[in-house]
Amino acid sequence: MIDWTPHTARAKDWFESLRDRICAEFEAIEREAGSDAGFEYIGWDRQEAGNENPGGGVRGVMKGKVFEKVGVNVSTVSGQFSPEFARTIHGADENPGFTATGISLVAHMTNPHVPAVHMNTRFLTTGKAWFGGGADLNPPIPYEEDTEEFHARFRAACAAHNPTYYERFKKWADEYFFIPHRNVARGVGGIFYDHLECADDPEWDRNFAFTKDVGEAFLDVFPRIVRKRMGQEWTPAEKEAQLEWRGRYVEFNLVYDRGTLFGLKTGGNIDAILMSLPPEVKWS
């Protein structure tokens, strides 16, 4: 059986380096807007009875002029799933022990013309080992050209690895980021993948390379869209529409999001888990 510990360490290092570059780019955008806002980094340690190395993470949050609130979290944790929760996790029926490392990002923007965004990538081991992740765009005021630019960049990232990835993972995102009780999509989609299994080192290398390219695609395309829209003027009615739209985002994350449930069920940091929630929101 493969010891995935070195692989977890490599993935952790990559997620941390991606975080550093994303945060630097977002701070650069704030400087361009005349703001001196920066990220505040807060470490946290996970607790689990009988576990000498449960892990933890770092929560990075910035509240600025362009980014009303953006959180970028990196965590690496290990432990045991509860028997009930283990039945819902890929491979955990074989082994309730787990390790997980990943990066998770949610940005809520001040200007309603600038789309909110979500991105995460992760590597998990249970009785199996696999990668998952993706990114999706969530504009209160959709622009077709922004949607196409976002999808085109991820289409290219997918095509470099497997000609079937984009259509498969786009469809998965469309189905996953849907709010059944509202009968609406959370946004304009992107890609979502999970259980990209690794049976040996070559397969791990291939899946890790793809996961890294997902992160690179995000870092390339999202700042371009922000810079294009952040100077647009908006009306009070457009701001009001943004605040009501955020309510749909909140409903999805609290009712359906797997990452939220995973964090809550594995003793994660509450502030890090709920960093996806916007600072201001309204329901009609």
- On the CB side of 23, CA atoms within 13 Å amount to 23
24-78 per-position pLDDT tens digit:
999 999 999 999 999 999 999 988 888 888 899 999 999 999 999 999 999 999 9
CA atoms of 160 and 21, how far apart (whole Å): 22
Q: Is 76 inside a domain boundary? A: yes
For 80-128, the three-class secondary structure string (H helix, E strand, C coil) is ECCHHHHCCCCCCCCCCEEEEEEEEEEEEECCCCCCEEEEEEEEEECCC
* Tens-digit pLDDT string for the chain (284 aa): 789 999 999 999 999 999 999 999 999 999 999 999 999 999 999 888 888 888 999 999 999 999 999 999 999 999 887 777 767 777 767 777 889 999 999 999 999 999 999 999 999 998 899 999 999 999 999 999 999 999 999 999 999 999 999 999 999 999 999 999 999 999 999 999 999 999 999 999 999 999 999 999 999 999 999 999 999 999 999 999 999 999 999 999 999 988 888 888 777 788 888 888 999 999 97
Q: 132 Cβ partners below 8 Å, 6+ apart?
A: 121, 122, 124, 193, 194, 195, 196
Set 108, 118, 181, 195: catalytic member: 118
Q: Is residue 45 part of a domain?
A: yes
pLDDT the model gives residue 86 = 60
Per the domain annotation, does 189 fall within a domain?
A: yes
Annotation marks residue 118 as catalytic = yes
Q: Note whether residue 284 is domain-resident.
A: no
CB count in 10 Å sphere of residue 71: 22
Q: What is the CATH number of the domain that holds 21?
A: 3.40.1500.10
- The predicted structure's pLDDT at residue 80: 83
Dihedrals phi, psi of 188, to nearest 5 degrees: -105, 15
Establish if 133 belongs to a structural domain.
yes
Q: Residue 183 domain-assigned?
A: yes
| 78: CB partners within 8 A, 6+ apart | 51, 53, 54, 55, 97, 98, 99, 100
- Alpha carbon distance 159, 152 (integer Å): 10
What is the rounded average pLDDT for all residues in the chain?
94
Is residue 281 one of the residues assigned to a domain?
no
Domain that holds residue 262: 5-32+40-276
Residue 64 lies in a domain: yes
Q: Which residue has the tokens 């980094």?
A: 41
pLDDT for res 165: 98
Domains held by the chain: number: 1
